[in-house]
Amino acid sequence: MGEKVVAGGFDLSDRHRYRDKLQQCLAGLARLLAQKRFDRPRNLMGLEIELNLAGPDGMPRMMNAEVLERIASRDFQTELGMFNLEVNIAPHRLGGRVFDQLAEELRTGLGYAHRKAAEVDAGIVMIGILPTLAQDDLVSANLSDVDRYTLLNDQIVAARGEDFTLDIQGVERLVCTSTSITPEAACTSVQLHLQVTPGRFAAVWNAAQAIAAVQIAVGANAPFLFGRELWRESRLPLFEQATDTRTAELRTQGVRPRTWFGERWVTSAYELFEENLRYFPPLLPICDEEDPLGVIADGGVPRLQELVLHNGTIYRWNRPVYGIADGVPHLRVENRVLPAGPTVADVLANAAFYYGLVRALAEDSRPVWNRLPFASAASNLESACRHGLDAELLWPVSRRGSSVAPVPAVRLVREELLPLAAAGLDAWGIEPADRDHYLGIIEQRCRRRVNGASWQVDTYHRARNAGLGGEAALAATTRRYIELMQTGEPVHTWPTGFPGRGH
């Protein structure tokens, strides 16, 4: 980001120039698409997992700089809060035993990181929201010491012009304010990337949007925030509110939030990038020297830096991504719906379910998005966040008509979507043993009605019933979660309560 970060601000000329460059980048993208310059199918997937740091007492540790120094691996990076890290797994080809290979890589990498964190009395926790986080932990002093986070915070705060309000009505209600975007750091997610050709992009993105609610229903893992029991997956409302640049008046006017599900099915990747320019003012008007149209005219591949940067400040739950690998441009769908954890096995079960289901639905001769109103997909997502495995989701009642009806999420998954996901994994060439193992974890969660969120809630209430106060019960639940997470056994097998205490 260079000198502009140090200068700490932008003037009007920066913004005018950036807007002009964004339009040039968009025109460049259109030209690349028209010239069919994009990479051929290579069945590539990628995985990122955001992590928490917590001590043996279950409390957050604000020490990612020290832990990263000890880990000393480029696979691990900072995230927004000082209690966050992120691990990035190199792209893999979807096929064969890829999920078992990923499991081995993740267990090795996370085990090493955990041992290094233990040297400074911390540990790695994969969870949607760390239950022991307090409002006092999520203040700007605890933002990671990285220029881009400080700059992003300053620009979002300036765009909003007043404090952020968090107001989430769940089992209990949370109402509080924040002077910074730091509460966003409480949300720790898994991001699943899938490289697609331009011709396949719309079908894959639409399929991912259609199943976002199902992903949350089976994978929810964030029921607590600031001592309150809220939604089964409280990350999504928290993320939207913690990054909301809109005042109440702008919301009333219908201005779109920067954390956004979207409002329609699409027919091309270009539409999403164009929407991002049309609806969202730039937050970080940092200009690159590149002339994208000139680069294309000379037969080169433009980086489209302004477009990429702007795209990264709009938090779609399924985000379009432009990238370059080995000098060739490509497009990816970045699925950002899922929480982290509880275990490596659970993360990869969620991934297998997603990749299989997206493949099957994207290739369906009667696409689900032609039969499911977009508004129903959006309301499904909220219902899944609120209720997790107990959600009822609207789904097409037949392959022919466009009528929808509510169906219990667990029934929809077991009877209709798991067979589709299995067929999709077969189409990717995934080994049957991998397919059955990881989809079996999803099936067992539905059969037993247990996911990370339900386990946390059940264990917390057992602690309360045994006489612990709220904070102590959350700390005890977190410690037990960490203990069971380290066994590596999937969450549907975890016992609730606390061994040897009679509850």
List, for residues 462-496, the tens digit of each pLDDT value: 999 999 999 999 999 999 999 999 999 999 999 98
pTM exceeding the 0.85 threshold for the entire prediction? yes
H-helix segments, 186-253: 198-219, 235-242, 248-252
Q: CA-based angle 396:400:403, to the nearest 5?
A: 35
Three-state DSSP state, 221: coil
Query: pLDDT tens digits, residue range 173-205?
Result: 999 999 999 999 999 999 999 999 999 999 999
Among 335, 355, 357, 347, residue whose Cα is nearest residue 417: 357
Question: What is the number of H-type helices and E-type strands within the chain?
Answer: 18, 15
Query: pLDDT tens digits, residue range 368-399?
Result: 999 999 999 999 999 999 999 999 999 998 77
Q: Give residue 13's pLDDT.
A: 78
Q: Is pLDDT above 80 for 430?
A: yes
Token pair of 302 as six digits: 């433009």
> 385: which DSSP letter?
H
**Rounded (10°) CA dihedral 269, 270, 273, 279:** -120
Token pair of 330 as six digits: 């490509």
Average pLDDT of the chain is: 94
Among 151, 125, 160, residue whose Cα is nearest residue 483: 125
Q: Give residue 4's pLDDT.
A: 39
Token pair of 503 as six digits: 């509850």
pLDDT band at 502 (very low <50, low <70, confident <90, very high): very low
Q: With left for phi above 0 and alpha for psi between -120 and 50, is residue 407 left, alpha or beta?
A: beta
Q: Is pLDDT above 70 for 503?
A: no
Query: pLDDT tens digits, residue range 263-309?
Result: 999 999 999 999 999 999 998 888 889 999 999 999 999 999 999 99
Cα separation, 90 vs 92, in Å, equals: 6
Q: Is pLDDT above 90 for 159?
A: no
Return the amino acid letter for 153. N
pLDDT band at 9 (very low <50, low <70, confident <90, very high): low
Query: pLDDT tens digits, residue range 200-218?
Result: 999 999 999 999 999 999 9
* Percentage with pLDDT > 90 across the chain: 86
* Percentage with pLDDT > 70 across the chain: 97
Contact, 85 vs 113, CB < 8 A?
Answer: yes
Among 382, 344, 387, residue whose Cα is nearest residue 488: 344
